[in-house]
Amino acid sequence: MNLLTKAVRGTQDILPADSYKWKFVQNIMLNEANLYGFKEIRTPVFEHTELFDRGVGDDTDIVQKEMYTFNDKGGRSLTLKPEGTVAAVRAVLEHGLLNDGVPLKLTYITPCYRYEKPQSGRYREFYQFGVETFGAASPEADVEIICLATTLFERLGILDLSLEINSIGCPKCRQEYRSALKKYFEKYRENLCSTCIVRLEKNPMRIVDCKNPDCQKIAADAPSIIDFLCKDCRLHFNDVKNYLNGAGITYKINPKIVRGLDYYTRTVFEFVSSLDSNRNLVCGGGGRYDGLIEEIGGPTTPAVGFGIGIERLILLMQSQGIEIPKPNRCDVFIATADKSAQAKALSLSKILREASFYAEFDIVEKSLKAQLKYANKINAKFLLVLGEKELAEKKAEIKNMDSGEKFVISLDNNFFIEVKNILTN
């Protein structure tokens, strides 16, 4: 087949054979968030570019290398959103949602776009589930969303996840820490990658989580932010650990988890799959960002949240052999022996569908034999065959496709009652 074109590299079609898995996972995500009081928000796919320049950081890889940015017909620079948090913050400020009182809890499932090398579980168009709490500065707020993530993974049946936490302090803490990092990494300047040489001047904290193996070796002995925490940040971090202990949530402290932007403060965390040799980050964007709302133009407002890539999550579930419930089977397939029965098949199907039963009938003029094969293919629970005889007698047989048991039903006003009793018993 000579196709005009194929899907753009880094994107994927989610076909019916897999879409039910997405629906199952997304429903659990939104339901779990709802149990914690989070309400869904939906933001546009694209925003003004300056929102991400300011909100994500113009010295980050996302802004410098990965954003899909274009000028519209009015000459305005627009960007396909690379993540969900900043767009949610913009919506909160634009519509004055904080005026209704805090805490404000929002959740979303949104497509995001980043121009990076496609690989397993990582696409240029991907979907992100996120939760954001605005207006709560307490360590309890941090632990609440960690609890949400923990119970979400449990409901999905995901095993062998480890929670890693850190504190990156406040701007006051980080000023001294950055000076110590710069002094440390300066000794290894010649061995750093080209990107980290630039980071050394702009933001040495970002060298700590560089993925370059040489930089990772150098960073292994770098100073830890925990040693530079001020009294308030240390107390906050201790409270987070105590609340996690009280909730029975196991964790380990990973001083290498950093966020290179100034608006991130205090608690940061990740969930990592121990079954993946590449340290598959299942939830790699968790933490507090008390400075972001102010950075975008709003009042000083504490905030905390996390994001999960759905593609990588489903891939992990599949690798662990987690069974996702199959979509509903067809309740009744109505086969027609001849053209005269088509109108009746349509009418009966409509009656069943209006009562929320999954019903199908032939719409492509297949032979009766082909219709029976199709009923088997879609794994229909019951089969009803209509022909001239059935129409004349106003009676027909309905067959249980699993057991082979047959029932005689009427095709008049009692049809729905009799079929309902059979389907629900």
CATH number at residue 113: 3.30.930.10
Q: Which of 296, 319, 342 is the last residue before a domain boundary? A: 319
- Structurally, the chain folds into a number of domains equal to 2
For 63-95, b where at least 16 C-beta lie within 10 A, e where not — what string?
A: beeebbeeeeeeeeebbbbbbbbbbbbbbbbee
Tell me how far apart the alpha carbons of residues 223 and 186 are, in angstroms, rounded to a whole number: 13
336 shares a domain with 309: no
Please tell me the least confidently modeled range out of 82-91, 214-223, 238-247, 334-343: 214-223
In a domain, 9, yes or no: no
In a domain, 214, yes or no: no
In a domain, 180, yes or no: no
143 shares a domain with 122: yes
Residue 194's pLDDT is 87
Tell me how far apart the alpha carbons of residues 258 and 233 are, in angstroms, rounded to a whole number: 15
Range of the domain at 356: 332-420
For the segment 275-304, the average pLDDT, to the nearest whole number, is 83
For the stretch 364-390, pLDDT in tens is 999 999 999 999 999 999 999 999 999
In a domain, 127, yes or no: yes
155 shares a domain with 301: yes
DSSP 328: P
Task: Inform me whether the pLDDT recorded for 101 exceeds 80.
Answer: yes
Q: Which of 265, 291, 319 is the last residue before a domain boundary? A: 319
Helix (H) or strand (E) holding 292: helix 292-296
For the stretch 105-117, pLDDT in tens is 999 999 999 998 8
Tell me how far apart the alpha carbons of residues 354 and 411 are, in angstroms, rounded to a whole number: 17
35 shares a domain with 116: yes
Task: Inform me whether the pLDDT recorded for 73 exceeds 70.
Answer: yes
In a domain, 119, yes or no: yes
401 shares a domain with 309: no
Angle subtended by helix axes 194-202 and 171-186, to nearest 10: 140
For the stretch 9-27, pLDDT in tens is 999 999 999 999 999 999 9
In a domain, 195, yes or no: no
116 shares a domain with 146: yes
CATH of the domain at 355: 3.40.50.800
144 shares a domain with 59: yes
Tell me how far apart the alpha carbons of residues 352 and 360 are, in angstroms, rounded to a whole number: 10
In a domain, 209, yes or no: no
For the stretch 46-60, pLDDT in tens is 999 999 888 665 555
376 shares a domain with 306: no
In a domain, 153, yes or no: yes
Task: Inform me whether the pLDDT recorded for 189 exceeds 60.
Answer: yes
Return the structure tokens found at 421.
């009793």
Nearest to 113 by CA among 134, 145, 87, 132: 87
pLDDT above 70 as % of the chain: 95
Q: Which of 272, 296, 319 is the last residue before a domain boundary? A: 319
346 shares a domain with 274: no
377 shares a domain with 264: no
Please tell me the least confidently modeled range out of 94-98, 280-284, 344-348, 409-413: 280-284
258 shares a domain with 345: no
290 shares a domain with 396: no
Q: Sheet of 303-309: strands edge to edge?
A: 39-40, 104-113, 125-134, 303-309, 281-288, 265-273, 161-167, 251-253
